[in-house]
Amino acid sequence: MTEAPPSAAPTAAASPEAPFPRWYHSIPREHRPAFWAGSAGWGLDAFDFMTLPLALGSIAAAFALTSTESGMIVTVTVLASAVGGALAGMLADRVGRVRVLMITIATFAVFTALSGLSRTTVRCCCSRGSKVLDSVASSQPARS
């Protein structure tokens, strides 16, 4: 007894929705720009954090930092991010997420520039630690 061959499944090229997973198409079209903006913000936040550990070897060599000083810079950055996410979330509930996001973008720009201009370990820790509101974009979901 012969069976009929299974019907050919549509190929990725034949489907206009192929590049995206199924859950993406459950997002209403008017909400997709917010999805992409949030994804870009999260990516930039992760890029900002991961750039420091990747460059820390060269930074430590250029400024003759000890391993303790190098570790302190990364520790301050991680702790400030955690504290900033909690504080910014509480602030966003009180004054609104848009205002807090504007504050976040401003602090990110100012303190990233200051950390780039730092000439001592203490100044670098202060400027990295002062970016406490930076993690609001990745820690707080947007509300309509």
Which of 112, 95, 104, 109 minimizes the C-alpha distance to 137? 104
pLDDT category at 12 given cuts 50, 70, 90 is very low
pLDDT category at 144 given cuts 50, 70, 90 is very low
> Are 125 and 69 a contacting pair, CB within 8 Å?
no
Report how far residue 13's alpha carbon sits from residue 43's, in angstroms, rounded to the nearest whole number. Answer: 28
Q: If you average pLDDT over every residue of the chain, what do you get?
A: 77
State both tokens at 103.
């504050």
Q: What is the pLDDT of residue 135?
A: 52
| Of 131 and 55, more confident | 55
pTM over 0.95: no
For the cut 70, the answer to whether the pLDDT of residue 136 exceeds it is no
